[in-house]
Amino acid sequence: MANVQIEQLRFGYKRSRPMFQDLSLTLEPGHVYGLLGRNGAGKSSLLRLMGGLLFPQEGYCRVGDFRAAERHPDFLREVFYIPEEFDLPHMRISDYVRVNAPFYPRFDREQFERYLDEFELVSHLRMTELSFGQKKKVFTGFGLAANTTLLLLDEPTNGLDIPSKTQFRRLIAQVVDPERVIVVSTHQVRDLEGLIDPVIILENSKVLLHEPMERIHEKLWFTTVPTLEQAPAPPLYHEPSLRGIAAVLPNPEGRHSKPDLELLFNAVLKNPDTIAALFAQPSLTPA
């Protein structure tokens, strides 16, 4: 399997109210895509369209050679979807692995055991003995160890405590692979900072931004200024912070800054047209 290709997709839970219209998107292997958007923006729906759980009304979503909506078994064994809410059978972790792992040809038991160790879980535990967060760790660990070429994660850090969020980021970073597409949908952007690249921002059925971090570095300057008057240019977005005013500015001089995903998200929602125009300009440096 290779990339995920969405072409002129139309989808809505009611035909009269489309959630996506003429949506086109291509996701390449070797990246962790961050799908950001407000509640109800369609992040989960887009993930389910990629996973073949929802069907487009028009257009298509292809993953490699397969149309996702056909749910061909060879497609399903190369896709693992970890939804925000999930359902696990009442059995031991080891039994769960024994009966589910054979469906995934590249499932690695040692890798899964390592994840369990990392999450301080043991495989003889029953699912009924686990908290929601622990079940999420088991399911996420299983999904990562399945080594599918498409991994879809919907709000993966919801229900995880702070140390587990760090562990999660580390594990995702470990499984990035040139053959693999990872898509993470979240509205808790800070949990995934430093992990996702490229960033896709959805709003009102549209993709407002779909750019790699390198281009975001190049086009935007994330800085803190003492007062708005001292900002070198009118900010695209600003908000008060402990050290002054955190602002996102255009970056015509190519200054280096560490992108703040939350500021980026708010800036894109506030000034979608200005930001689209900025990113439409060619890069200063060759990619």
Partner 1 sequence: MQFSLERFFLLLRKRWAESGRMYLLGLAILAGFWALTLSLFILAGNGNQNLQLVMLIMGLIGGGAMFAYHQFQQLSTTPGAIRFLHLPGSHLEKNLVALLFIFGFFLPAAMAVFYVVDLSLVEIARRRWWPDADESPLKILDWHKTGDAIATYGIVTAVFALGSVYFSRSALVKTGAAFFVLGMAILFANFWLPYWLVPHSENIMMVSEMFDKLELHNRETSEVDVMQLPESWKTMFNVFLAVLLPVYCWCIAYVRLREKQA
Report whether the peptide linkage leading into residue 250 is cis, meaning its omega lies within 30 degrees of zero. no
Closest CB to partner 1 among residues 50, 261 = 50
Provide the minimum distance between the beta carbon of 246 and partner 1 in the complex, in angstroms, as a whole number: 38
Provide the minimum distance between the beta carbon of 103 and partner 1 in the complex, in angstroms, as a whole number: 4
Q: First and final CA of the chain: distance in angstroms?
A: 26
The position carrying tokens 């702070």 is: 162
Provide the minimum distance between the beta carbon of 151 and partner 1 in the complex, in angstroms, as a whole number: 12
Provide the minimum distance between the beta carbon of 220 and partner 1 in the complex, in angstroms, as a whole number: 36
Q: How many CB atoms lie within 10 A of CB 178?
A: 8
Closest CB to partner 1 among residues 57, 224 = 57
Closest CB to partner 1 among residues 105, 252 = 105
Residue-wise over 214-231: b if at least 16 C-beta within 10 A, else e? ebbbbbbbbbebeeeeeb
Provide the minimum distance between the beta carbon of 267 and partner 1 in the complex, in angstroms, as a whole number: 33
Using an 8 Å Cβ cutoff, are 168 and 118 in contact?
Answer: no
Question: Contact positions toward partner 1, by CB under 8 A?
Answer: 48, 51-55, 71-73, 76-77, 79, 81, 83, 85-87, 89, 91, 95, 98-100, 102-104
Provide the minimum distance between the beta carbon of 87 and partner 1 in the complex, in angstroms, as a whole number: 4
Closest CB to partner 1 among residues 76, 208 = 76
Provide the minimum distance between the beta carbon of 227 and partner 1 in the complex, in angstroms, as a whole number: 49
Closest CB to partner 1 among residues 59, 244 = 59
Closest CB to partner 1 among residues 52, 235 = 52
Query: What secondary structure, in 3-state letters, does 63-103 show?
Result: ECCEEHHHCCHHHHCCEEEECCCCCCCCCEHHHHHHHHHHH
Q: Give the residue from 272, 247, 250 showing the smallest Cα distance to 260.
A: 247
Closest CB to partner 1 among residues 16, 230 = 16
CB contact set of 29 (below 8 Å; sequence gap of 6+) = 2, 3, 149, 177, 178, 179, 180, 181
Q: Two tokens at 74? A: 């060879």
